[in-house]
Amino acid sequence: MPKQRQIKEIGDLGALKALAHPRRQQILEHLALHGPATSATLARALELNTGATSYHLRELGRHGFVEAAEGTGKGRERWWQAAPADLCFPRRPSRTRRCGRSSTR
C-alpha cells in the first residue's frame, strides 16, 4: 500500500541548498516520473557518473527528499525513491507597510 503524501515545509537553508542543485532536481524528477532506481541506473539515464549520483542521492536523503525503496535490492544494491510529500515554502511574515505605498506621507 503506498504511503500517504504529506506536506513538507522547506524552511531549512541546508534543505533549500540541497534542492537547488540542478543535478539533484534531475534526479528527483526522474524518480518521480519513473519510480525507484539505483545510483547506477540513474547515472546511466541522466548521463552522470555513479559516484556523483550516489553523493547527490545521499544529500537528498539527508534532507528527506528521497528514501530507500522498501522490498527492493539485494546485497549492496540500494534502491531509492522520491519521498511521498508535497513540497512547500513557509509563508512570508506580513509586512507592516503595504507594497506600493510610500511611508513618507
Instruction: List, run by run, the mean pLDDT of 10-residue segments along the chain (105 residues).
Output: 64 83 95 94 95 95 89 76 78 59 50
What's the CATH fold of domain 12-69? Answer: Arc Repressor Mutant, subunit A (1.10.10)
Residue 9 φ then ψ, to 5°: -85, 130
3-state SS assignment for residue 104: coil
Distance (Å, whole) CA 12 – CA 47: 30
Residue 62 is predicted with a pLDDT of: 92
Report pLDDT for 46: 95
* Gyration radius (Cα) of the chain, Å: 18
d(CA 17, CA 92): 19
Report yes or no: 50 and 78 within 8 Å, Cβ to Cβ: no
Query: What local confidence, expressed as pLDDT, does residue 105 receive?
Result: 47
Question: What pLDDT, on a 0 to 100 scale, did the predictor assign at position 49?
Answer: 93
Where in the chain are the domains?
12-69
Query: Residue 1: what pLDDT?
Result: 46
